[in-house]
Structure 1
Amino acid sequence: MNTFRSGFACFVGRPNAGKSTLTNALVGEKVAITSSRPQTTRHVIRGLVHRPDAQLILVDTPGLHRPRTLLGERLNDLVRSTWAEVDVIGVCLPADQRIGPGDRYLIGELAKIRRRPMLALATKSDKVAPERLLEHLASIAAAGDELGVEWKHVVPVSAVSGYQVEHLRDLLIAELPEGVALYPDGHLTDEPEEMLVAEVIREASLEGVRDELPHSIAVVIEEMVPREDRPEDKPLVDVRATIFVERDSQKGIVIGKGGSRLRQIGTDSRGQIERILGTPVFLDLRVKVAKDWQRDPKQLRRLGF
């Protein structure tokens, strides 16, 4: 009789190392927000992979970095507490970048964790030539030796082209303990719908804006309710959300000339929100300034951090 395995895996890496894209590729649906901007993931998002012989629960963490704000410190604490609770760790080291001080800091921190199988993942391997990839894999092996991490496997992978994604799924599942399924079949994530909706709006807000904005945007769902007086076969959900920024100048950027950017954010996010909720949506977006919220414990709490 086949044994059933179930447990938790997490991807760690510097900001923008491909962790969220890999989570989405393994689950097969978009559950973690991805953006070309570093440090867009704020919450630990779990994606679920169901197989007849296993259930793999993927935990996506914010990127570990040397913190400069209170928010940065809290995000790092969140990463470390996640590492301590999972069954296997995948370390994302993008093939299109050399292993740098940030990666070495991360691998050094991981060396302090005992008895956790660790896989080194050369993400974004579709972006480099084969000889550069081989050189990168050798650098990963050398960094592990030097900093005291024994890699269980070193795996080149590309979430975008699908290269070795299935193989990675098998390797992660092989490290899980035997056990029963922890979530009902068919679920893709255990995040509440409101959080997924907020993340979709935040991702749309980040697209195409200048570099100073990513860490300054937070989204709060004020209301998400079915519209009364609608016939049963034509439901509509009213979603009212506030996009918080830290300064008036940023508010202007998010709203855009004559409200054009804000309208674009609404258009870009509405379709995804309707997929999440399974119903048409009326989306009402506001932009407010919460001055320097990343450094203020009271505001961090109010915004859900």
Structure 2
Amino acid sequence: MSDDDMPSLADLMDGDDEEVSDVDYVAARVAESTHAGFHSGFVCFVGRPNAGKSTLTNALVGSKIAIASSKPQTTRHVIRGVVTDEKSQIVVIDTPGLHKPRTLLGQRLNDLVFDTWTQVDVIGVCLPSNQRIGPGDTYLVSHIADLPRRPTLVALATKSDLVPKARMAEHLVAIDRLQQQVGVEFTEIIPCSAVSGEQVDEVRDVIVSLLPEGPAYYPDGEVTDEPTETLVAELIREAALEGVREELPHSLAVEIVEMGLREGQPDDQQLLDVYASLIVERESQKGIMIGHHGSHIKQVRTHARRQIAALLGTPTHLDLQVKVLPNWQSDVKYLNRLGF
């Protein structure tokens, strides 16, 4: 289809053409949102667990769209955050961490990571300044080096607020040594801290400078395309991960059973009802999740309810149940049911 034959967005929105496909709609929207000098594209942050990927995503977007935890394999979904200004739009893709899989879920998450890497323009490799570069970092960057089409690479020395200048200098030398060892080239090496805000603007500016001219893929003001139910489920999981043993995070999932505004409430006193299940693999894990006399699940409910209300701007009633689905991480039926 030539540009002259392309239907306008207004034509597609008037509802007269029932045969219009999603592809036509997106193509028309992209065509109308493209103008000279506007740079846009896709970037993902990678790194080992607790490297600051999700926190940096949230800092760039200016809104909490990705959960953050010190527990490994916290991120399980591809979350897209949108950073837009007058001259550019960055679509930040927060992906699960690359790891050696022990379950079918782990393999599916790794496949998701590799697929994302092949589609982005820039990869930001997060190398936390308060940790030594080790085998996990080499393993990760080596896989990037093997990509048939390698995106532009940027090294991000995250958590810069936690180290003195002398330690940062050591870390930057180690990053340079890593790129030589693995055979990649980092276009930029940027110390930054998502928590303190140090050089987050610099990270954004460098990414924009590496993106091609292109369209605005999302409307101005949109910060994510993630379904609300998924965001709510992730906030509940984030709350549930706090204070639990190391083996539980891998086995924990959240399923939204029902969610909606309570009927009969006045317009100025709306209340969101959320009914969700915390999924674990063993009865012993169920006991841990509930806690002594229900102490842990009460904490989860309180923390998650506040986070959901802050995200959606609506007071929230949260009902949580704990269910056991034996070995769900390796069961195709359960994985499909839970959206993996």
For this structure pair, what is the TM-score category when the shorter chain's length is used for normalisation? over 0.9
2:232 corresponds to which of 173, 191, 197: 197
Aligned to 1:65: 99
Aligned to 1:99: 133
Alignment map for 1:260-299 (pairs within 5 Å): 260-299=295-334
2:210 corresponds to which of 157, 175, 186: 175
Paired residues of 1:16 and 1:39 also in contact (CA < 8 A): no
Aligned to 2:266: 231
Question: Which whole-Å CA distance do the structure 2 matches of 1:93 and 1:62 have between them?
Answer: 16
Question: Which whole-Å CA distance do the structure 1 matches of 2:121 and 2:172 have between them?
Answer: 24
Q: Which stretch shows the higher mean deviation, 56-65 or 270-279?
A: 270-279
Paired residues of 1:122 and 1:157 also in contact (CA < 8 A): yes
Aligned partner letter, 1:45: I
Q: Which has the larger radius of gyration?
A: 2
Question: Which whole-Å CA distance do the structure 1 matches of 2:326 and 2:68 have between them?
Answer: 26
- Between the two proteins, the alignment pairs up a number of residues equal to 305
User: Does residue 138 of structure 1 match 2:173?
Assistant: yes
Question: Which whole-Å CA distance do the structure 1 matches of 2:316 and 2:140 have between them?
Answer: 42
Aligned partner letter, 2:209: A
Q: Specify the SS of the correspondent of 1:251.
A: helix
Question: Which whole-Å CA distance do the structure 2 matches of 1:64 and 1:250 have between them?
Answer: 25
1:89 corresponds to which of 106, 110, 123: 123
Which contiguous aligned blocks of 4+ residues in structure 1 show a shift greater than 3 angstroms? none
- Displacement of 1:167: 0.4
Paired residues of 1:15 and 1:65 also in contact (CA < 8 A): no
1:46 corresponds to which of 66, 70, 80: 80
Q: Specify the SS of the correspondent of 1:152.
A: strand
Q: Specify the SS of the correspondent of 1:98.
A: coil
The percentage of counterpart residues that share the same residue type is: 62
- Displacement of 1:81: 0.3
- Displacement of 1:96: 1.4
Q: Specify the SS of the correspondent of 1:29.
A: coil
Question: Which whole-Å CA distance do the structure 2 matches of 1:259 and 1:181 have between them?
Answer: 48
- Displacement of 1:276: 2.6
User: Does residue 151 of structure 1 match 2:178?
Assistant: no
Paired residues of 2:160 and 2:191 also in contact (CA < 8 A): yes
User: Does residue 76 of structure 1 match 2:110?
Assistant: yes
Structure 2 gap ranges (5+): 1-34
- Displacement of 1:163: 1.2
Q: Specify the SS of the correspondent of 2:260.
A: strand
Paired residues of 1:20 and 1:60 also in contact (CA < 8 A): yes
Give the TM-score normalised by the residue count of structure 1. Answer: 0.97
Aligned partner letter, 2:315: P
Q: Specify the SS of the correspondent of 1:191.
A: coil
For residues 225-260 of structure 1, the C-alpha deviation after alignment (integer angstroms, 9 at most, x for no partner) is: 222222233222211100001111111111112212
Aligned to 2:41: 7
- Displacement of 1:211: 1.4
Paired residues of 2:262 and 2:270 also in contact (CA < 8 A): yes
Q: Specify the SS of the correspondent of 2:43.
A: strand
Aligned to 2:22: none
User: Does residue 251 of structure 1 match 2:314?
Assistant: no
Question: Which whole-Å CA distance do the structure 2 matches of 1:245 and 1:12 have between them?
Answer: 27
- Displacement of 1:34: 0.5
Q: Provide the alpha-carbon RMSD of the alignment.
A: 1.3
User: Does residue 21 of structure 1 match 2:60?
Assistant: no
Paired residues of 2:118 and 2:150 also in contact (CA < 8 A): no
- Displacement of 1:2: 7.0
Aligned partner letter, 1:52: E
- Displacement of 1:293: 1.0
Q: Which stretch shows the higher mean deviation, 294-303 or 40-49?
A: 294-303
User: Does residue 220 of structure 1 match 2:220?
Assistant: no
Aligned partner letter, 1:134: A
For residues 189-212 of structure 1, the C-alpha deviation after alignment (integer angstroms, 9 at most, x for no partner) is: 110000000000000001111212
Aligned partner letter, 1:144: Q
For residues 7-35 of structure 1, the C-alpha deviation after alignment (integer angstroms, 9 at most, x for no partner) is: 11100111221100110111111110001
Say if 1:18 and 1:245 are closer, same or farther in 2 by CA, change over 3 A: same
